[in-house]
Structure 1
Amino acid sequence: MLAIAFRFPAGRYHATPWGRHVNEAEVEWPPSPWRILRALVATYHRKGWADRHPEPVLDGLLEALSETLPSYALPPAIQAHSRHYMPQGRLSGGREATSLVFDAFARIHPEHELVACWPALTLPAEQRELLDDLLRDLGFLGRAESWVEARRLEEWTGEPNCQASELGVDPDTGLALDPVRVIAPVPPGEYPPWREHTISAHGLDGKKPRKRERAILATLPERFVDTLRVETADLQAAGWSSPPGARFVTYQRPSDAFTPTATTRPPSRPHPATTVRLALSGRPLPRLEDAVRIAEIARMATIKKAEHVGDGTIPPALSGHNLPGDANHGHAFYLPEDADDDGHIDHILVHAPDGLPAQAIQALDRIRRLWDRDGRWPVLVEGYGDREAFPDAVPFGHGRVWTSVTPYLHPWFAKKRFGVAEQIARECRQRGLPEPERIEPVERVKVGGTPRRPVHFRRFRSTPKRLRQPDTRGQFLTLTFPEPVAGPIALGFACHFGLGLFRPVSGEPGDE
C-alpha cells in the first residue's frame, strides 16, 4: 500500500477544476490525481533532484502512480470564497472601471490531513526514496497560496471516504453521495495506441504539417510520462479541451464534504516552523546598510496582517509583547539577508526560536509588498520550516568563528568590568550559547565588495518614543567559540531588527 498525507498549514486549498473558469468559484476537491502527479514533476525539475535521482526513476514512479486511481480520506472542509474588484482602467467619464473576480477555496483545519492512498501499489526502494524527497520539497498544491506539507505514510489504517465510482449511493449506509468529476492520468499502456489513432484520425501524419498541426503535434509527446511535462499554456494554445494522456473520472465524495460540522478541536501542539523566509524583488533593492529600517518595516507589516487573521490578536511570537517573565529572545527576529552578496537586501528571515504559530505564518503569507518613502518592494514567501529548511541562508550557518555582518551595539551601559566582552558573554549565556573564547575587533566589513565602517550603517530604531540606547557608535567583531555553534547569531541592541548580526567565517575548523 502507498499512502500520502497532505496538510495545509494556512488552512486553505486553492485549485480550480480543469475546464472550469475561475469565476465559477468551484474548488477541485479532492485534489485530482493529475494535479498531484504534475506537482511531483514540477518539484523534481524546480528543486534540481536530477543530480541525485536519475530521470528514469521519476518516470517509473509516475507510471506506477498512473496505473490505478487513488482513493481519498477527505477531512472536514468548508467551501468559501473572497471577492475582488480588479481595476480595468478609467471610463470616459473618469470613473474607475472594475471587474468582479472570485477567489474560491476550501477551508480546512490546519492540523487535519487529507490522505490519498493506492491500496495495491508497492514501490521499489529507489522510487520510495525519490517520492520522499519530492514530498518534502513540495511547497504548494494547486495555486501558490495553497501551502502544503506532504509526507509518505509508512502505515495507514484509516478508511477512505472518496473513491472512483459511478455508484451514487453508499452501499453500506444507503446514503446519497456527491459525484464530482476530476482529471486523472490514463493507464500508461493506453496512451500509445490512443496517440496513434489521434494522429491518424486528424490527419496529423502528413509530410508537411501546417502551423496549427505542428502546434498540436508538439503537445503530443511520444511517451506517456512526457504528457505530464507539457505546459498548460501550450495545451490551451493548441486547442485541447483536455490534456493528452488524461481522462475524466467520477469520484463519489460524502454529501456533506463541504457542510460545516461541529468537530472536536484536536489537541494543540507547537507549530513545527520556526522560520519564514521572505524574498524581496524590485529595483533597486534596499541596501544592507539600512537593515534595521527594513526589519522595522517588515515587523510593522506582519503585525498589521496579524490583526486580520484568526481572532485578531497579535501573536506574542511576532510582537515580542506579553511574553512570560522568563522568556528570553524566543520571539521573532526580523533578519534582513543579502543572499547573493551584492550589497542589497534580497531576503528577510523571520526566525522565532520558540516557534511560529499558524496565525503568525498566515499573517506573513498575506504580505504582498513592503514600502516606505524610499521604495516599494514586492514580497513573496519563499518557504517556511526549521533552520535546516534553509541550508543556503547566510545567518543559518555553522562554525566556530563568526564575524559581523551588521554593527554590534552593546545593549547595556558599559561599566567597570562590564564592557563589550562581558556583555557578549552574558548574552551568549542567555541564548544557550557557549561564551566566546576570543573576541576581536574588525575595522571594516565588505558590503557588496565595498569596505564599510559602522558609521555607514543605520544604527537607530525609528520608534515614536526614543529608546535609551547605551551604544550609538557600534563596532564590528569576530567571535571565536570553543566549539562549533549554529546560527542565527544576532546580539546586542536592536538584534531583533538586523543589527548585531553575525555570519560564519568559511574555511575555519568546524565549518559545515
Structure 2
Amino acid sequence: MITLLVISIHFLSGAYHATPWGKHVNEGIPEWPPSSWRLLRSIIATWKNIKPEFEEEHIVPILQKLASELPTYHLPDASVSHTRHYMPTNNKPTLVLNTFIVVGKNPIHIIWDDITLNQQETDILKSILANMHYFGRAESWCKAELSANTIKSNCSPHADQNFPPNTDLVQVLTSNKNIEFVDIRTSTENEKDALNAITATTKILQENKYKDPPGGRWVWYTRPKNCFEGSMTPRTQTSWLNGITIVRYAVVGSLRPPIRDTLRVGDLARSACMSKYGQNNNGEISSTFSGKDGEGKPLKNLKNCKNHKHAFYLPTYETQNDEIDHLTIIALKEFNKSELDVLLKLNKLYSYNMPVVNLVFQGCGNTNTFSDIPILKKSRMWISATPLILSRHVKYRGSGANKHIVDGIEEQIRREIQNRYCSNYKIKNIKIDNDDLRMANTNTKTLNFFRWRRHGSIGDGRAYKVKIEFADAVQGPIMLGYASHFGLGMFIPEEE
C-alpha cells in the first residue's frame, strides 16, 4: 500500500513541449510545471487507447484519488528554447513558434504526500504509466514510472499570504476534488452545465463555450525564482566535461557557405572564440584558441609535436553538395572550463563580406566519440579534401644540368608529418598533383579555394591535391601545410 506517491517523467529528447490552457502556441509561453490536469488526461488517454482491458471501475478510483489532493513538484534545472517554422495554409504560409522547456536527462517528479493506493491500483497505475509514451505535445516523448524514492519538492501550492523568498508565482490548472470522470460527448444537454468533463477535447469545450475546462480549477503555485535562467550553464564546470578535445557543430540555414570558403569560415571560428574568451576573461588570451602565449606572441617550438596542441577549426562538407555543413573544433589537449563555456555557446560567425554562418551545437567528446566522421577515421590511404598549400616556397639550387629542387613538396610533407606526429606515422608513398583538379567528393577545383587569410602569414599560394599512403592505418585528423588550422590541407580516408 502506497501513502507517498511519486510519478517520475523522463523526457527522452530532453525537452517538454506543452502550452498552458488558454494560451496560443505563438505566445511562446511554455507550461511549467506540467499541470496535474494534463497528467490526468494523459492517464485516461493511455488507458482508453493502449490499455482498454482495465475496467472503468478499477481506473476511476485511481483518478479520483489523484484528483483529491494537490500535488507538489520537484522541477529539474531547465531553460526555455524554441523553433520557428511555417505551416502551409490556403492563403499563405503561417509562422508557428514551438516553445519548449529543455530539461536534459533530469526527470520531473510529481508528488502526492498522502494518497493510499492498494496493490491492485498500484499495479494498474504502473502499467498505464509504462505505456504513456508522450506527455504534452506528441513530440514530448517520455518514460513515466512510479518512483520509490523520497523526493523533496521545490514547487508547491501557495496556500497563504506570505510570499516565500526566491520564488515566483505561476497558475497551474488542476482538477476539482469531487471531479466526475464522465465524457461530455455522451452526456445529455441538461448535464453539461454541471459536468466535470476531464475527457472532453478542446474543440468540444470551445463549441460549448467553456472558458475553462469544467471540473478544472486554477491554483497558484510557487516555483524557484528565475528557474529558466543560468541553470544549464554551470554544467561546463562539472566532471562530465573533463577530457573534452572535440566540439562539433552543424552549419544550418538556407544559405550555407560554399566549400571554397573553408579557410574563411575556419578563420572566423577562431576569431569568434578568441573574442568571446577575451570578453569573458578580462581580455586574457587563450593559447589553445589562438596558438599564442599570454603576450600575443606565437607559441614557440611548434615544430615539436608535443607543443603543437592548439585548436584546429575545421569546416567540412559531408553531404557531398559543395557546401560546408559541419564545423569541428579540435585540440590535442583538453579544453578548460573557460574555453568550453565559449564553445558550448558558439552559434553564429559574423563577417563583413559574407553571410552569417549559423551553427547548431551537436556534441562534444574526443576522437573515440566521433570516430565515425570522415576526418577522424582510421585508414592507410588519405586523400586531399581541401588543397594543400605549402608553408614554405620550393627552392631550387644550381643551374643548367645541375639545377635541382631543395625543400620540395614531398620533402615538406614528410618533414611536417615527422614533426607533427612524432614519427608515429610511417609513410609508404606520396602522390602529388599540381594540376587544377577537383577535390575529393566535390566539383570544386583546387584553385577555386580561398587560399589567403585576412591577417597573418601567407603561404606558397600554389594548391596541390595529394594522396598519402601510410604503412599502417593511422588515426585522423591529418592536417598539413599552410592554414591547416583553418581547414586547408585537410585529408579524408580513401577507400582501398
Identity in percent: 23
1:441, 1:478 within 8 Å by CA — same for their partners in 2?
yes
CA deviation after TM superposition for structure 1 residue 184, in Å: 8.2
* Residue 321 of structure 2 corresponds to residue 336 of structure 1: no
1:439, 1:479 within 8 Å by CA — same for their partners in 2?
yes
The residue type equivalent to 1:405 in the other structure is A
2:33, 2:73 within 8 Å by CA — same for their partners in 1?
no
1:337, 1:394 within 8 Å by CA — same for their partners in 2?
no
| Residue among 377, 383, 394 paired with 2:362 | 383
1:440 counterpart SS class: strand
1:317 counterpart SS class: helix
CA deviation after TM superposition for structure 1 residue 498, in Å: 0.8
| Residue among 443, 458, 461 paired with 1:472 | 461
CA deviation after TM superposition for structure 1 residue 307, in Å: 3.8
CA deviation after TM superposition for structure 1 residue 499, in Å: 0.6
* Residue 268 of structure 2 corresponds to residue 297 of structure 1: yes
Q: Distance in 2 between matches of 1:446 and 1:406?
A: 6
CA deviation after TM superposition for structure 1 residue 379, in Å: 0.7
Q: Distance in 2 between matches of 1:426 and 1:177?
A: 60
1:406 counterpart SS class: coil
Residues 256-282 of structure 1 show CA distances to partners (whole Å, capped at 9, x for unaligned) of 98999xxx9997758354213141434
1:475 counterpart SS class: strand
| Residue among 276, 289, 292 paired with 2:248 | 276
1:383 counterpart SS class: strand
Q: 1:501 to 1:19 in 2, by over 3 A?
A: farther
Q: 1:406 to 1:27 in 2, by over 3 A?
A: same
Q: Single out whichever of 376-385 and 493-502 deviates more from structure 2.
A: 376-385
| Residue among 364, 375, 399 paired with 1:395 | 375
The residue type equivalent to 1:377 in the other structure is V
| Residue among 278, 283, 289 paired with 1:318 | 289
Cα-Cα RMSD: 6.3
Gaps of 5+ in 2: 1-5, 40-48, 52-61, 81-100, 112-121, 135-139, 193-199, 395-405
2:96 corresponding residue in structure 1 = none
CA deviation after TM superposition for structure 1 residue 166, in Å: 5.8
Q: Distance in 2 between matches of 1:199 and 1:311?
A: 71
Q: Distance in 2 between matches of 1:331 and 1:201?
A: 76
1:72 corresponding residue in structure 2 = 74
Q: 1:258 to 1:412 in 2, by over 3 A?
A: closer
2:387 counterpart SS class: coil
Q: 1:490 to 1:280 in 2, by over 3 A?
A: farther
Matches within 5 A, 1:364-443: 365=345, 367-373=347-353, 375-386=354-365, 393-411=373-391, 415=406, 419-430=411-422, 434-442=425-433
Residues 95-139 of structure 1 show CA distances to partners (whole Å, capped at 9, x for unaligned) of xxxxxxxxxxx9xxxxx9966447899989xx79x99xxxxxxxx
Q: 1:330 to 1:428 in 2, by over 3 A?
A: closer
Q: Distance in 1 between matches of 2:418 and 2:239?
A: 31
Q: Distance in 2 between matches of 1:322 and 1:337?
A: 28
Q: Distance in 1 between matches of 2:23 and 2:467?
A: 59
Q: Distance in 2 between matches of 1:56 and 1:434?
A: 59
Q: Distance in 2 between matches of 1:256 and 1:21?
A: 23
Matches within 5 A, 1:63-142: 71-72=73-74, 116-117=108-109
* Residue 401 of structure 2 corresponds to residue 445 of structure 1: no
Provide the TM-score with structure 2 as the length reference: 0.54
Residues 375-434 of structure 1 show CA distances to partners (whole Å, capped at 9, x for unaligned) of 31341324231256667744344433221111123445665698134224314524x963
CA deviation after TM superposition for structure 1 residue 26, in Å: 9.2
The residue type equivalent to 2:453 in the other structure is R
The structure with the larger Rg is 2
The residue type equivalent to 1:435 in the other structure is K
Gaps of 5+ in 1: 7-12, 37-54, 58-65, 81-105, 107-111, 132-140, 142-149, 204-215, 222-234
| Residue among 470, 495, 503 paired with 2:492 | 503
CA deviation after TM superposition for structure 1 residue 483, in Å: 4.0
Residues 16-39 of structure 1 show CA distances to partners (whole Å, capped at 9, x for unaligned) of 977689999999776889999xxx
Q: Distance in 1 between matches of 2:215 and 2:371?
A: 38
Q: Distance in 1 between matches of 2:212 and 2:339?
A: 39
2:413, 2:480 within 8 Å by CA — same for their partners in 1?
no
Matches within 5 A, 1:214-229: none
2:248, 2:362 within 8 Å by CA — same for their partners in 1?
yes
Q: Distance in 2 between matches of 1:200 and 1:310?
A: 69
CA deviation after TM superposition for structure 1 residue 500, in Å: 0.8
1:317, 1:355 within 8 Å by CA — same for their partners in 2?
no
1:32, 1:184 within 8 Å by CA — same for their partners in 2?
yes
Residues 323-350 of structure 1 show CA distances to partners (whole Å, capped at 9, x for unaligned) of 7868634332221222321222233223
Provide the TM-score with structure 1 as the length reference: 0.53
Q: Distance in 2 between matches of 1:343 and 1:117?
A: 48
Q: 1:351 to 1:166 in 2, by over 3 A?
A: same
